[in-house]
Amino acid sequence: MTGYLIDGLQYANWSEKIFRQLRAGGVDAVHVTIAYHETFRETVLNFEKWNRWFDLYPDLIMKGQWASDIDVARNTGRTAVFFGFQNPSPIEDDIGLVEILHTLGARFMQLSYNNQSLLATGCYEAEDPGITRMGRQVIKEMNRVGLVVDMSHSADRSTIEAAEISERPITVTHANPHDWHPALRNKRDAVIRAVTENGGMLGFSVYPHHMRDKSACTLDSFCEMIARTADRYGIAHLGIGTDLCQDQPDSVVEWMRVGRWSKDIDYGEGSASAPGFPPMPGWFRDNRDFGNIANGLRKTGMNRDEVGAIMGGNWYRFFAANFTPKAASHG
């Protein structure tokens, strides 16, 4: 059996077709976004929707809660699905919901999306005052229960502070280095360094707006960028987080960008016209194409173990260390 294949983030329009593509691509586990701007109750309804899918497609997918579930999925020919939020909206203003949501199966939570939240600053804000008072408390609680801090859409100071405040490693599940492609969402050297030096993970995104030359980005360019990043920060801290938004209608971009906070359209990093999903690069259309990335990494000179680490081995180790509750300390 080959090494683990784990995707650090997807937000697809889920269907039996995509579940079958996950299996055809040999994807052992995937972190799935189940909340952007949802309240707690709305997020619970999304958990319910997934429970119905687990009932309908038990031969294709299963709920993932612990790293050991990935092994169960592999041994039974299925994909383990792990849940996360791209915004802290599911906890509303109630720190007690952190533990409740972890119990329901949440394993990642971004401290902010593109805007300022109650916890941290998003990357589209002009000013970044860093982690808030509530943010510090929520990070402490997330560390305790085993809910991973994700800073994929957060601004620089907030991300660096989160890496330093958190007693457990944090992650940027889906972004690329800013010096490769200067998108607002991509991460500068100081940010990647803070995350990785504290044991955290960076997942490389194939979302076209995050890549050099966007939809025309070549596989060679993408894989060379990964190889250079490994040289700089260490291969143990890197994985893939495709940010695949497969089969989503363009109207979903409005929900992602705007939620309910504005009456205007937020164009993000797309065109100045109505926002929509850009075409994916030809070498990564869907979950059946992960082999192209693995082959591209081998072409850069990486050996089998290094390619295996980036394609899933590092995520597996990270999941194993960070999803379980921390032993209580007294003092």
In a domain, 331, yes or no: no
Question: What does pTM read for this prediction?
Answer: 0.95
Residue 329 forms part of a structural domain:
no
Per-residue tens of pLDDT for the chain, all 331 residues: 579 999 999 999 999 999 999 999 999 999 999 999 999 999 999 999 999 999 999 999 999 999 999 999 999 999 999 999 999 999 999 999 999 999 999 999 999 999 999 999 999 999 999 999 999 999 999 999 999 999 999 999 999 999 999 999 999 999 999 999 999 999 999 999 999 999 999 999 999 999 999 999 999 999 999 999 999 999 999 999 999 999 998 888 888 888 888 888 776 655 445 567 899 999 999 999 999 999 999 999 999 999 999 999 999 999 999 999 997 544 4
The dihedrals phi and psi of 308, each to the nearest 5 degrees, come to -60, -35
The domain containing residue 66 runs over which residues? 6-322
Q: Is residue 100 part of a domain?
A: yes
Own/partner contacts of 248-251, CB < 8 Å, gap of 24 or more, are: 248/11, 248/12, 248/13, 248/277, 249/13, 250/274, 250/275, 250/276, 250/277
With respect to residue 209, please indicate whether it lies within any of the assigned structural domains: yes
Strands 61-63 and 106-110: unpaired
Rounded to whole angstroms, the Cα distance separating 220 from 204 reads 14
CATH number for the domain including 19? 3.20.20.140
User: Distance (Å, rounded) from C-alpha 27 to C-alpha 118?
Assistant: 35
Among 198, 265, 188, 290, which Cα is nearest to 229's?
Answer: 188
| 263 located within any domain | yes
In a domain, 66, yes or no: yes
The total number of structural domains that make up the chain: 1
